[in-house]
Amino acid sequence: MSPAGPGGSMASWQPEVARGRLGDLRRLSTLFGYHQIACAWDVPAHAANFVVHVQDQRPREVYARFSGYGEHRFVPRHSKRARRVALLAMRATHIVGLDRALVYLTIRNGRLAISGLDPGPALDKAARNGLEWENRHGGPVTLGADPEFVLVAESGLVAADRVFPLEGEVGCDGFRDRITGVHPLGELRPAPSTSPAGLVENIRALLIKAQRRLPWRSVRWLAGSMPWPGIMAGGHIHFGMPPNAQLVRALDNYLAVPLVLIENRERAVLRRSRYGFLGEIRLQPHGFEYRTLSSWLWSPRVTLGVMALAHVIGAHHAQMTHNVFDDDSAHAAFYVGDASYFARFLPRLHDEVLSLASPDDAAAIETIFEVAAAGYHGEDENIMDAWKILQYRVWPVTGPHQASGPAAINFG
């Protein structure tokens, strides 16, 4: 199938960058390759295994072609299969630069592949007005987060599930190591706030609470892209509002780009081979979570700056239209962690954000751009030292840790 859709038609209403990509099969395949997305352009529309209608970074309908039937049939979009298919369709639409599309997907060699994208006709006035009403967000921007971390003793990594429960405001990430069977990542789930400073204080309170659960003093708390070999940590940000295409593009440009310059390059590249793709979101009952970022928990100043940036973007994304990723080379640079490529965009991004930020947000955002300009990363810093939280030994009343220190888990 033509990447432009079943008919291969190209409409003038489509963004120019999207028209260029959809009109060049080789270019589009290369672009998807940067994001580790397979293509199968030889599969006709009627033979695709799935068809997903994506509109403004939300899946409207998911259809599947079942064995024995020639036509595509509706699949409940909340089913496990539909969610997996829809997430890939949303990513493909975002990468190309479309706000909406019918995305055709095929299973090839046991892997989902994109076999076509059809932008469809331009929206009429009634449809445009309806979409604008649906995306209208009144009131303050509510932010939440679930940053991840690891615990490291002199003897090695200490699995988080030795100390914390799986659920709760201080718990473990759902990732479970297939070899050891443990949950290595700890996760904070602070109460949301309409204030970046308020959310950071909620995070600080949970760090204090988490530290008091730890029975050993000589343990380092680490964050970043890959705080321990093979263990990748995320810094997901939650928004109490529905996603839309412009909001997700703004997050990639005005938040993810500056943070490229403060990450440990080697570790960030390894993480992006599996997690943290551009435009990676997950729909939630309260809105959505942006999942591209690695864990920024290693510094309270960076944490506050990240939250302030997210706050400004949530409130003013419609005015934040600069898109570094209109250039295909920016996609390649992101996945190889090329900080020098993105450094040239910092002045413009800085000026645009500060022109929209409140005084309180602006002060915190300045810190992010200063750290980015300096190329500093502190992923090896002890979180508790950086946050100035005293670490002291608290022996549990009962349990196996009274007589011995932390036992390391070998992930090598």
Q: Tell me: do 121 and 38 sit in the same domain.
A: yes
Query: What pLDDT is stored for residue 2 in this prediction?
Result: 59
Supply the pTM of this predicted model.
0.89
**7 is a domain residue:** no
pLDDT for residue 15: 78
Is there a domain that residue 334 lies in? Answer: yes
Find the CATH number of the domain harbouring 209.
3.30.590.20
> Could you say which residues of the chain have pLDDT below 70?
1-14, 66-72, 74, 76-78, 121-138, 391-412
Residues 354 and 220 reside in one and the same domain: yes
Is residue 194 located within the same domain as residue 299?
A: yes
Cα–Cα distance for residue pair 203/298, rounded to 1 Å? 12
The answer as to whether 135 is a domain residue is no
Are residues 246 and 108 part of one domain?
A: no
Strands (DSSP E) found in 19-89: 38-39, 50-55, 59-64, 73-75
pLDDT at position 255 is: 98
The reported pLDDT for the residue numbered 392 is: 57
Is 403 part of a structural domain of the chain? Answer: no
pLDDT at 215: 72
DSSP states along 280-349: -EEEETTEEEE---BB-TT-HHHHHHHHHHHHHHHHHGGG----GGGSHHHHHHHHTT-HHHHHTTHHHH
Q: Does 299 share its domain with 158?
A: yes
Question: Could you give the 3-state DSSP secondary structure of residue 157?
Answer: strand
Residues 110 and 67 in one domain: yes
Whole-number Å distance between alpha carbons of 183 and 176: 5
Please tell me the total count of domains within the chain: 2
Residue 289's domain comprises 143-386
Residue 10 lies in a domain: no
**75-122 per-position pLDDT tens digit:** 766 677 788 999 999 999 999 999 989 999 999 998 999 999 998 755
